[in-house]
Amino acid sequence: MVEYRIRPYREEDYEAVREVFATGMSEYAPALCLHVLRQPWVLLVLGCTFCLLLASARSLLLPVLAITLLLALARHLLGCAWSTYIDRCLGDDLRDIGAAYAESAGARFWVAEADERVVGMVGVRPADNGAEGELVLKRMSVRKDYRGLGIATALGRTALDFARQRGCRAVVLNTQMLQHEARALYERLGFRRHRCYVLPTAYGRLANCTITTYRYDLAGRA
């Protein structure tokens, strides 16, 4: 059984935290490609391209080659888009973790430590929309070889305890459509689905990028 402990973030954890986050998120790149490939408009474009080329070339080689190239290009572009998203997160609150999660701002960041290294993390900050008494849970991630040990559950409970002690009303968070394990984790922790919407950007609409907001109401809960 692996021994781990949850402790507050320290500046020397900086590189490890960014690496755990980036690695955890980059795992979703293949799932994102599959998700986009399953969209009806993508299947229609691929199907029409295949049929048109087959009809004009009267050979299977050209359409098969063209579809293979299209798929490779799409995979590359989606990979770039996903990397850009990860970089944006690294340049946001994970750029200066100490400042973004400063106690003076009512925020906090924790890491899970095992085998003398950082293997997981989570943070909470006051909501950007200024909703009073609400904290946003962010950057939950656990190294792949330390998953299934209850580390994320322990990190989530630590964050909820913190919010409770601060007298907060609720803890909220966002998940993307690909994060099935995370959604199961939050539901198991007692979060309720609050809102579900398609990301209101061109990319969000094209990729049918669905965001599910979860909420844990602390009022009336022990």
Ligand X SMILES: CC(C)(COP(=O)(O)OP(=O)(O)OC[C@H]1O[C@@H](n2cnc3c(N)ncnc32)[C@H](O)[C@@H]1OP(=O)(O)O)[C@@H](O)C(=O)NCCC(=O)NCCS
Among 17, 152, 170, 209, binds ligand X (CB under 6 A): 152
Q: How far is the CB of 11 from ligand X (least distance, A)?
A: 23
Q: How far is the CB of 130 from ligand X (least distance, A)?
A: 22
Total residues contacting ligand X by CB under 6 A comes to 18
Q: How far is CA 25 from the centre of its chain?
A: 6
Is the CB of 174 or the CB of 208 nearer to ligand X? 174
* 184 interacts with ligand X by CB under 6 A: yes
Among 53, 97, 151, 171, binds ligand X (CB under 6 A): 151
* 8 interacts with ligand X by CB under 6 A: no
Q: Buried b vs exposed e over 53-87: b needs ≥16 C-beta within 10 Å?
A: beeeeeeeeebeebeeeeeeebbeebeeebeebbe
Q: What is the DSSP string of 183-201?
A: HHHHHHHT-EEEEEEE-SS
Q: How far is the CB of 159 from ligand X (least distance, A)?
A: 12
Distances (CA, A) of 16 to 2, 118, 119, 144, 148: 19, 6, 8, 14, 20
* 188 interacts with ligand X by CB under 6 A: yes
> Smallest Cα–Cα separation from 121: which of 91, 154, 72?
154
For the record, the structure tokens of 109 come out as 């960041």
Of 153-182, binders to ligand X (CB under 6 A) are: 153, 175, 179, 181-182
Do 17 and 120 form a contact (C-beta atoms < 8 A)? no
Of 87-146, binders to ligand X (CB under 6 A) are: 140-142
Of 20-59, binders to ligand X (CB under 6 A) are: 24
The residues of the shown chain that bind ligand X, judged by CB under 6 A, are 24, 140-142, 147-153, 175, 179, 181-182, 184-185, 188
